[in-house]
Amino acid sequence: MTNKTQLVTLEDITKMPAATAVDALRSKESVQPIIDRVRREATSEVLDVNQKKDRERMGSLGRSVSTSKTTLIKAIKAAISDMEAKVKDVKATCKYAEEELNQIRDEVLAPRKAWEEEQERIKKAREEEMLGRIDNIREMGNPDNAGDLSGLKEMANALEAMPITKEHFEEFLGDALAARDDALKSINNAIITQVEEEARNKALKEQDLTIAINNIKLKPTEAFSKNSHEIQAMMSELDTMLSSISEDKFGERTQEAESAAAQAKHQLQMLFNSKRQQEAEESTKVEQEQQSRATVTQEAQAATQTVAQPQNVAPAMQKATDLAPSAKQQIDKGMASISMREYRHLQQCEAELDALKAHGVDNWSGYDDAMASLNDRVA
């Protein structure tokens, strides 16, 4: 029976084999005759709902429709259940066949798959090796790995001499060339920076050395206003400085620094000798002045005792007036140098006059005449 089979009664469908029933029930039209027949049987009678027997007949017809429905649905589900069991078995068979055939296929393809995996591993290892070499080239461009200027120059030479060809890098040739160019640029920039830095440091060091040597040379100028003891301390300090001069500090200018220190020490020695002589002369002069003042004081005291008598006033006044022309000459000429002897005589005369005045000798009747005579001669 095909899907075009027309079913007339429920008995027809209930008696069909499951496979036939499933095939027959694939469309709605296959059960439409049964539905139409049930509808006709259930609705063909004219019943009065007001009559008890008619109401009972309505119930009987409803039960008949339910019975027909139950019979039809049960037959359909039975056919489906049988087919589902068969379908399940068929699915299991399908799965088994699929797994077995897949296994056969995998066994056949296993050698090729292993070969392909090995080739992929080799390719990946080759790529990693080349990329690692390219990373090494980039790392060569790191200035920190080269160290000093000499190391940077060696690194630049190594990069320039490095063979980078298609044979060595194959499809990564462009990456390798770019890495070398970047590394060379980085190293060359570092070389320029370090050369400039070394030149700047050398200039600063040279400047510091020049300042240090000039400071040594200027040491004697600081001693002009100092005494001999201070100059001697400066000489000791210079000796210490001279002993500390070394090639580690002054390099090629060590000899220049030593020469400057030796010359400065020689100049300090000359200043020291000059200061010692000057201080000795000043000390002698002070002693002489102190001795002269002491002598004048003694003579004044003696004169005081002598001029207490009126007859001794005239000689003292005469001595003072004798010195007046010389003093007048100095006044007429303004400030002028006089000998130490004249200076001491003036001091002595002044002391004698002060002593006479202090002891009241100016009350003597002849004092005015003496002073007038002295003033006339000075004028």
pLDDT tens per residue across span 119-149: 999 999 998 998 998 999 888 888 887 778 8
**Residues 333-357, mean pLDDT to the nearest whole number:** 60
Report the alpha-carbon distance of residue 156 to residue 136 in Å, rounded. 14
Kindly state the average pLDDT of the residues 40-67: 90
CA pair distance 151, 172, nearest whole angstrom: 28
**Residue 292 domain-assigned (yes or no):** no
Residue scoring higher pLDDT (111 or 357): 111
**55 plus 79 within the same structural domain:** yes
Number of structural domains the chain divides into = 4
* C-beta of residue 247 within 8 angstroms of C-beta of residue 254: yes
Q: What is the mean pLDDT of the chain?
A: 78
Is there a single domain that holds both residue 161 and residue 212?
no
Res. 347: pLDDT tops 70: no
In a domain, 289, yes or no: no
Q: Sign (positive/negative) of CA torsion 133, 138, 144, 147? A: positive
Please identify, among 151, 183, 199, the residue that sits at the C-terminal boundary of a domain: 199
DSSP state of 333: T
323 within a domain of the structure (yes/no): yes
pTM of the model: 0.40
User: Looking at the domain assignment, is residue 274 inside a domain?
Assistant: yes
Q: Same domain, yes or no, for 20 and 87?
A: yes
Question: Are 100 and 143 a contacting pair, CB within 8 Å?
Answer: no
Angle in degrees, 0-180, between the axes of helices 340-358 and 254-306, rounded to the nearest 10: 40
Cβ–Cβ under 8 Å, residues 280 and 228: no
Do 17 and 82 reside in the same domain of the chain? yes
Phi first, then psi: give them for residue 186, nearest 5 degrees: -65, -45
Q: What are phi and psi of 296, to 5 degrees?
A: -60, -40
Which comes out higher in pLDDT, residue 320 or 176? Answer: 176
Helix locations, the chain, DSSP H: 10-15, 18-24, 32-43, 52-140, 149-161, 166-169, 173-217, 228-244, 247-250, 254-306, 313-332, 340-358, 367-378
Whether residues 261 and 188 fall in one domain: no
What is the spatial distance between Cα 210 and Cα 203, in angstroms, rounded to a whole number? 10
Six token digits for residue 159: 């990069």
What percent of the chain lies above the pLDDT cut of 90? Answer: 10
Is 81 within the bounds of a domain? yes
Is residue 28 in a domain?
Answer: yes
327 pLDDT more than 50: no
- The closest of 26, 14, 17, 18 to 5, measured between CA atoms, is 26
Report the 10 Å Cβ neighbour count for 146: 22
Instruction: Provide the pLDDT confidence category of residue 371 given band limits of 50, 70 and 90.
Output: low
77 pLDDT band, cuts 50/70/90, is: confident
In a domain, 316, yes or no: yes
Is residue 208 within 8 Å of 162, Cβ to Cβ?
no
> Which of 47-56, 127-136, 272-281, 298-307 bottoms out in mean pLDDT, i.e. has the lowest?
298-307
Q: Say if residue 115 is in the same domain as residue 128.
A: no
End-to-end Cα, the chain, rounded Å: 183
301 found inside a domain: no
pLDDT over 60 at 332, yes or no: no
Same domain, 345 and 329: yes
- Are residue 51 and residue 97 in the same domain, yes or no? yes
| The two three-digit tokens of residue 1, written as one number | 């029976």
Angle at 336 between CA 332 and CA 338, to 5 degrees: 115
End of a domain among 264, 280, 296?
280
Q: Pick the last residue of a domain from 179, 199, 219.
A: 199
Q: Say yes or no: 98 and 28 in one domain.
A: yes
Query: Do 189 and 222 reside in the same domain of the chain?
Result: no
132 in the same domain as 222: no
Q: Which domain holds residue 74?
A: 10-122
Which residues have a Cβ under 8 Å from the Cβ of 54 and sit 6 or more positions away? 47, 48
User: Residue 344: which pLDDT band, with cuts at 50, 70 and 90?
Assistant: low
In order of 72, 146, 172, the CA distances from 161 in angstroms are: 95, 16, 19
Sequence letter at residue 302: A
Per DSSP, 361 falls in state G
Question: pLDDT by residue (tens digit) across 193-247?
Answer: 888 888 898 888 888 888 888 888 887 887 777 888 888 888 888 888 888 888 8
User: In the 8-state DSSP scheme, what is residue 182?
Assistant: H
Regarding whether 255 and 241 lie in a shared domain, the answer is yes
Measured distance CA(169)–CA(45) in Å, rounded: 99
